[in-house]
Structure 1
Amino acid sequence: MEGRYAFAVRFRLDPSRDVTVEPNEFETRLFREAEPPGEDGWLFFRDNLWRGEIADESHFRDLAAEALGVTVLDVDYRAFEMDEAYREAFREAIAADLDAFRAENVDEVVNKYLGSSVEVESE
């Protein structure tokens, strides 16, 4: 069972010595593994995303900069990628606690936080 979040990151290199780089800005894809549903940290999507966008962009840029050790200029959420087993466990964990999400069904929760940016890999 696997799941991961994908982000587009634009960052800048700021050399600390008497050197320069050209170009000094780059784009890459950043992945963050998703904890198994129901385990500590599995609610990353609820705590950081809203309607398929990063909820607090400034805070998230700071987190990405700390993780990467570079100046992060921009971070955009791209997708929550998961296999079928993760998807089933994810939906079951949400369904078991709909009140915590203030929603009537699982699809409402998924749309509320992830928008249409869930990608399920078939086996």
Structure 2
Amino acid sequence: MATYVFRVGFRLDTAPGVRTTPETFETTVRVPAATPGEDGWLLFRDALWRGELNDERHGRRLAESWLGVPIDACSFSELQTTEEELAALREAIASDLDAFNAESVREVLHKYFGSAIRVE
């Protein structure tokens, strides 16, 4: 399954007087990509620009919803996909290029993912 990969920094909210070492943590978060055309498939359009988060605050809120902890930092790393999944994504994009304000599927992929697509 195609997967969005993010680097996330978070901290634990502890009870008063309780401390952790370290106080902050970094992890890699892998989020399954919705099938093109299904609810949530436009995550890339809504959250990315040129292979980076288009709004870090929005990215932190997304990561908080995935992990349930306060997020200090979030960055997009890549979309991991297969040839078949990438073909389905291209087909879905091609069916409505106007929604992406673009003239080609290649332009759309570059506008949102930059070079951060890894085909496995």
TM-score range, shorter chain: over 0.9
Residue 73 of structure 1: SS of its match in structure 2? strand
Letter in 2 for 1:44: L
For 2:66 and 2:41, the matched residues in 1 are separated by 19
> Normalising to structure 2: TM-score of the pair?
0.93
| 2:77 matches 1:72 | no
Q: Judge conservation of contact 1:34–1:42 (CA < 8 Å) in 2.
A: yes
> Normalising to structure 1: TM-score of the pair?
0.91
For 1:110 and 1:91, the matched residues in 2 are separated by 8
Residue 108 of structure 2: SS of its match in structure 1? helix
* Unaligned 5+ runs, structure 2: none
The Cα shift of 1:43 comes to 0.9
Q: Judge conservation of contact 1:81–1:120 (CA < 8 Å) in 2.
A: yes
Question: Partner residue of 2:19?
Answer: 20
For 2:17 and 2:112, the matched residues in 1 are separated by 45
Two-structure CA RMSD over aligned residues (Å): 1.2
Residues 41-93 of structure 1 show CA distances to partners (whole Å, capped at 9, x for unaligned) of 11110011111111121122123123322221100000011111101101111
The Cα shift of 1:20 comes to 1.1
Question: Partner residue of 2:2?
Answer: 3
For 2:57 and 2:101, the matched residues in 1 are separated by 26
Question: Partner residue of 1:33?
Answer: 32
Letter in 2 for 1:38: G
Q: Judge conservation of contact 2:47–2:58 (CA < 8 Å) in 1.
A: no
Higher mean Cα deviation, 8-17 or 62-71? 62-71
Using the aligned pairs only, state the percent identity.
50
Residue 115 of structure 2: SS of its match in structure 1? coil
* Unaligned 5+ runs, structure 1: none
Question: Partner residue of 1:57?
Answer: 56
For 1:66 and 1:98, the matched residues in 2 are separated by 30
Q: Judge conservation of contact 2:12–2:23 (CA < 8 Å) in 1.
A: yes
Residue 47 of structure 1: SS of its match in structure 2? helix
